[in-house]
Structure 1
Amino acid sequence: MTSRVPTSRVLPSGLLTRLAVLLAAAAVSTGAIAQERTLRLVSGFPENGIYVQRLLPWIKQFNTEGKGVLQINFLGGPKAIPAFEVGNAVKTGVVDMALTTGAFYTNVMPEADFLKLTQVSVVEQRKNGAFDAINKVWNEKGNMQYLARVVENQPFHIYTNKKIDKPDLTGQKIRISPVYRDFFQALNANVVTTAPGEVYTALERGVVDGYGWPIGGIFDLNWHEKTKFRVDPGFYDAEVSLIMNLPSFKKLTDAQRAFLDKQLAAYEAGNAFWTQYGKDEAARQEKAGIQTIRFDEATAKSFRDKAYDIGWAGAAKQSPDIAARFKPLFSSPAAK
C-alpha cells in the first residue's frame, strides 16, 4: 500500500500580499496603542468653578490631539479626592496629575505656599530661572514636577462688612486661610479659620465680619449677598497650577513629553484671560452693591509692601535657604 505524503497548502500570491499588508498594519496599530498612555488627573477645586470650567476644554483638546500618544482621564474635583489630600495623592502616585494651589498641599511641603509671593509673569518665571528653581525643590521635597501655572493676575483682597479708613482690622473677626494669616494678624484682625462652605452662614450670623479671597469667585459661593466692602489694593497672587507625580513624569517617552510641553504652553498662553476676568469681577461686585475702599497712594503702597514683607519673613522662617533662592526670582524689579 502506497502512503500519501501530505503536501503544504500553497496560498495564492495575491492573498499572501494582502495578508502581509494587514499584519503590518496590525503591528503598527498595536505599537501605537502600546505607546499611548493615559494620565489620571484630579482637581482641588469644585467642578462648577471657573478654574475647572477652563480646564475641561483644554483636556478635550489635549485628548483630541493626543490620540495614540497621551490622554488625560479627568476623575473629578474634591468629591473624588478632598482638596487638602490632593497634594499627597500626587506625591504618592495615587493620581498622576492635579490642578491645585500650593495652599492646598502645604501639608506635603510648606514651600508650596511661597508661590503666592510671585510678582512677575509666568512667562518671566520661565525665562529667569524661577520655574527651574521651583522644580528643583518640588522634585526633591514633593516627589513632584511643577508643570504649569494656569492662573495669574488674581490678587487677594480683604472683604468686610465694617468700613475702615486705614489698613487696620482691629476689632474685626476675619475668616482666613494660611495664605494670609500672618498678614491679617499684623493688621490686628481676630482671625477665624473655617471651611469655605461655612463662610456664607458665618457672615449671615455675624460670626465673622469679613474674609480674605481673590478678586474672582465670590459669586460662585454667593458671598456677594453678605458682603458690603472690598479693600483695594489687592495683594499676593492667587496661584493655580498643574503638578505631576515625578515618577509618572519621568516615565513619559520623548514624544509624550514633547506633546505635553506643547499642550502646557498652549494652556499658559491663555493666561491673559485672567486680567480681564479680574476687571469684570470688580465691575460685577460694584453692580452687586459691594463698595470699594481705596487708600491714598502712599498708604496703598505701604499696605502692599507690608503684605510682601510679612510673606517673605514667614517664608524665611520656614525654609531660609529656599526663600533666599526664590525671592530674587519671584519679586518685581522695583522690589529687588
Structure 2
Amino acid sequence: MNTFTRAAFAATAALSLGTTASAQDLRLLAGWDSSYAAVGDVLMPFIERLEEETTADISINVLGPETVPPFEQLDPVSRGLFDMLYTNGAYHFNEIAVGMTLDAMNGTTEDLREGGVWQAVDAQYQELGLKLIAVLYDLNGYHIMLKDEVGEDALEGRRIRGTPIYHPVIEALGGSPVVLPGNEIYPALERGVVDGAAWPTVGAVAYKWFEVADYMMRPTFGQVSHMVLMNLETWNGLDDQTRSEIEAAAQSFELEANGLFDELAASERETLETEGMTVSELSQEMGEMISGAWFTGTLDLAATQNPEAVEEIRGLATEAGVDG
C-alpha cells in the first residue's frame, strides 16, 4: 500500500470514528473519473434510480480514483472504509479473479442471472465481505486501436498495449502484448513505443487517442462489465424493504444500461470516424477465432487465482450458452 493510499485510509477511518453516519448515507468509490462516459452517463443515472426508488432516505456520494487508486479500491470497500465500489473485475485480479470472467461472456445480465453465473460471482465476492448489486454491461465490448491497418497476417510482429486480460487475443493475432496503464497510451502511440492499444469501444474520444491512431480493428470481442459492489455489512445493515427495492431497481437498470452503452458506442464511433479513424477488418477466420480465444483465455487466467470457482462459472456459462 503506498503512502497516498495509507493517508486516504487514515483520513477515512478518522472520519468514521468522529461521526456516526446514517446506514443510508453511502460513499461509493469509482475506478474511473467523470471523463469516462460509463461514470457520468451510466453510473450517475443508476445512482439516481436507487435514490428515487428506495423508500429509505438513501444518499450516495461518488468518490473517484483521486481518493484511492483504481487497482487498490477493493480492500477498503471490503473492510468498510467505503460503502460501495464501481469497478471492473480485472482491476482486482490479484485479490479475486471471478469478476473478470464476466467480461468473457456473451449475453445480457438477464441471461447471466437465468444461467446462475451472476449468482455464482456474487457468492464468491460475499466471501470477501462484498455484495454484488449490479453488473452494468457494455455489450459492444473491446477493440484494438492501431496506427496501421490490419494486415493479411493480422497483427504479426506488432506491439499492442494491453493488460493481462487482453493477452490471449493479442497473441492469437500474432502481436506482442505491452502492459501500460491507460494514462500512458497516448504518448506510447505517439512515440511508436506501441503499434496499437486494446481498450473498450467506449472511451477513446475522451482521451483523444484518435490523434495518434488511425484505425479501429473489427470485429470487437467480449463485453465490458462495470460491477457495482456494496460492503456486505453495509448491505446487511439495510432493512429488508430497502434491500428488496435496491435489488429490483438494479435488475431493471441492468437492462437499461445495455441501451445507454449502445448509444455511447454509436456516438463514439461516429466521432472517431469524423476525426479521421477508419475501421480495419480482420479476415472472417480471424474474426471468428478471437471470440473463442477471449473466452478461453480470460477464464484460464482467472482460474490461476480461483480455480474451483472459475470451473463452476465455466460450466454454468457453457450450459446457459453464454460462453463467448
C-alpha distance in structure 2 between counterparts of 1:136 and 1:129, whole Å: 11
Deviations 1:211-243, CA, capped at 9 Å, x for gaps: 001111100111111111111111111110101
Equivalent of residue 275 in structure 1, options 235, 255, 262: 262
Residue 196 (structure 2) aligns with: 210
Structure of higher RCO (CA pairs closer than 8 Å, 6+ residues apart): 2
Contact 1:42–1:99 (Cα < 8 Å) also in 2: yes
Task: Provide the aligned length of Structure 1 versus Structure 2.
Answer: 301
Equivalent of residue 51 in structure 2, options 63, 66, 73: 63
Residue 81 (structure 1) aligns with: 68
Contact 1:88–1:105 (Cα < 8 Å) also in 2: no
Residue 307 (structure 2) aligns with: 320
TM-score scaled to structure 1, two decimals? Answer: 0.82
Contact 1:167–1:303 (Cα < 8 Å) also in 2: no
Task: Measure how far apart 1:254 and its partner are.
Answer: 0.6
Larger Rg: 1
Residues 224-303 of structure 1 mapped to structure 2, 5 A cutoff: 224-271=210-257, 272-303=259-290
CA gap of 1:76–1:319, structure 2 versus 1, over 3 A, is closer
Deviations 1:118-141, CA, capped at 9 Å, x for gaps: 11210111122112111121112x
C-alpha distance in structure 2 between counterparts of 1:301 and 1:239, whole Å: 22
Q: Structure 1 stretch 191-200 or stretch 231-240: which is displaced more? A: 191-200
Deviations 1:77-135, CA, capped at 9 Å, x for gaps: 11122111111121111111011111111132122222211112101111221121111
C-alpha distance in structure 2 between counterparts of 1:167 and 1:244, whole Å: 45
Task: Measure how far apart 1:64 and its partner are.
Answer: 4.5
Residue 104 (structure 1) aligns with: 91
Task: Measure how far apart 1:330 and its partner are.
Answer: 3.1
Contact 1:233–1:304 (Cα < 8 Å) also in 2: no
Residue 223 (structure 1) aligns with: 209
Contact 2:115–2:317 (Cα < 8 Å) also in 1: no
SS at match of 2:164: coil
Residue 12 (structure 2) aligns with: none
Letter in 2 for 1:147: I
C-alpha distance in structure 1 between counterparts of 2:152 and 2:321, whole Å: 27
TM-score scaled to structure 2, two decimals? Answer: 0.84
Deviations 1:291-328, CA, capped at 9 Å, x for gaps: 11113433321232222232333334443322221124
C-alpha distance in structure 2 between counterparts of 1:36 and 1:244, whole Å: 12
Deviations 1:24-70, CA, capped at 9 Å, x for gaps: xxxxxxxxxx9862121121111232111122233234334546x14
Equivalent of residue 127 in structure 1, options 93, 96, 114: 114
Equivalent of residue 78 in structure 2, options 91, 95, 115: 91
Alpha carbon RMSD of aligned pairs, Å? 2.3
SS at match of 1:207: coil
Contact 2:98–2:121 (Cα < 8 Å) also in 1: no
C-alpha distance in structure 2 between counterparts of 1:61 and 1:335, whole Å: 31
Deviations 1:124-177, CA, capped at 9 Å, x for gaps: 11122112111121112x221111011230311111112222464232121111
C-alpha distance in structure 1 between counterparts of 2:199 and 2:25, whole Å: 35
Contact 1:47–1:76 (Cα < 8 Å) also in 2: no
Task: Measure how far apart 1:335 and its partner are.
Answer: 5.3
C-alpha distance in structure 2 between counterparts of 1:111 and 1:183, whole Å: 19
